Amino acid sequence: MGNFRLGHGLLRFLEEWGGALSDVIFPRVCQVCGCALVKGEEVLCLDCLLAMPRTNFHKTHFATPVVRMVATAKIDRMACMFFYSRKSGYAAMLKRSKYNGHPEIDLHLGKRFATELLSDNFFEGIDVIAPVPMYRWKKFWRGFNQAEEIARGVSMATGLPVVHNLEAVKPHSTQTRKSATERRSLSVSYFGVYAPEELEGKHLLLVDDIVTTGGTVAACAQALRDAVPSIRVSLLSIAHTTYT
Ligand SMILES: [Zn+2]
């Protein structure tokens, strides 16, 4: 017992010392305001977390982007963590994760947001999580797909499995505002569904980092419905561009 306590204490000591040491080598700072993070804070400081411009779309079903997305992409429900405005610190945080290679930011945000949504029963009836796929060469050059990292975080919080049945068969532009017909051709040419029988009758949660016009989401949802008519699709994203 004594040995166990000693071992446990030693482990705690090494853990804390190791944590302090890694803070010196990789300083832990808030990705929004740059202040030093205190124990218990991760990625963002408490002030920036509280000041985050929340969309609360999952609580306000009549918000314009929700109505539009339900109509165009025929999704069941959607949740977006915060509003994305180009010059904000929150936008800088997402850009840093994407272009400076910090997938742990996406993973953390996915996990945190999903933990919050659990208490609102957002995941009720959802069977699987699928990240918006990235074309393989783009993923190769970037080293990761941020939507996949967010999906992993959501899975860690909810226990729901991540599936990779949706594939990007060609590189696609995310800045798309297209008609239903154009979207249909976009979905057919850009996204493919692997082993569609695995998704039969499932409610799938599509996960992306930033939703702008919703063109990519609509194209993914269309590709899924074309391959699996019985599927239901919902959406979770970290950010949604501000709208008028
Ligand atoms: Zn901060």
Residue 119 dihedral angles phi and psi, to the nearest 5° = -70, -15
Q: Give the C-alpha distances (Å, rounded to integers) separating 43 from 26, 57, 149.
A: 12, 23, 14
How many angstroms separate the alpha carbon of residue 96 from the centre of ligand 1? 15
- Secondary element (H or E) of residue 168: strand 166-168
How many angstroms separate the alpha carbon of residue 141 from the centre of ligand 1? 30
How many angstroms separate the alpha carbon of residue 146 from the centre of ligand 1? 21
How many angstroms separate the alpha carbon of residue 48 from the centre of ligand 1? 4
3-state secondary structure of 161: coil
Ion ligand 1: residues, Cβ under 5 Å: 30, 32-33, 45, 48
In angstroms, rounded to a whole number, what is the distance separating the alpha carbons of residues 112 and 122? 14
Dig out the tokens for 139 from the structure.
Answer: 């993923």
* Structural domain boundaries enclosing 154: 52-241
3-state secondary structure of 204: strand
**For position 175, what pLDDT does the model report?**
45
In angstroms, rounded to a whole number, what is the distance separating the alpha carbons of residues 194 and 27? 42
Give a yes or no: residue 91 inside a domain.
yes
Predicted model pTM = 0.84
**For position 180, what pLDDT does the model report?**
57
Give a yes or no: residue 14 inside a domain.
no
**For position 176, what pLDDT does the model report?**
46
In angstroms, rounded to a whole number, what is the distance separating the alpha carbons of residues 14 and 16? 6
**For position 138, what pLDDT does the model report?**
84
**For position 9, what pLDDT does the model report?**
59
How many angstroms separate the alpha carbon of residue 45 from the centre of ligand 1? 4
How many angstroms separate the alpha carbon of residue 119 from the centre of ligand 1? 25
How many angstroms separate the alpha carbon of residue 39 from the centre of ligand 1? 14
How many angstroms separate the alpha carbon of residue 52 from the centre of ligand 1? 10
Q: Give the C-alpha distances (Å, rounded to integers) separating 60 from 54, 78, 181.
A: 12, 10, 29
Residues in the chain: 244
Give a yes or no: residue 184 inside a domain.
yes
Give a yes or no: residue 82 inside a domain.
yes
Give a yes or no: residue 38 inside a domain.
no
In angstroms, rounded to a whole number, what is the distance separating the alpha carbons of residues 211 and 181? 20
Beta carbons of 165 and 130 less than 8 angstroms apart? yes
How many angstroms separate the alpha carbon of residue 191 from the centre of ligand 1? 37
3-state secondary structure of 210: strand
Give a yes or no: residue 199 inside a domain.
yes
Give a yes or no: residue 2 inside a domain.
no
Dig out the tokens for 116 from the structure.
Answer: 């919050």
How many angstroms separate the alpha carbon of residue 47 from the centre of ligand 1? 6
Give a yes or no: residue 115 inside a domain.
yes
How many angstroms separate the alpha carbon of residue 51 from the centre of ligand 1? 9
Q: DSSP string spanning 221-232?
A: HHHHHHH-TT-E
CATH number of the domain enclosing 116: 3.40.50.2020
Q: What is the mean pLDDT of each run of 10 residues along the chain (244 residues)?
A: 51 56 65 94 96 94 88 93 94 91 94 96 97 88 92 98 93 56 62 96 97 90 95 97 75
The domain tally of the chain equals 1
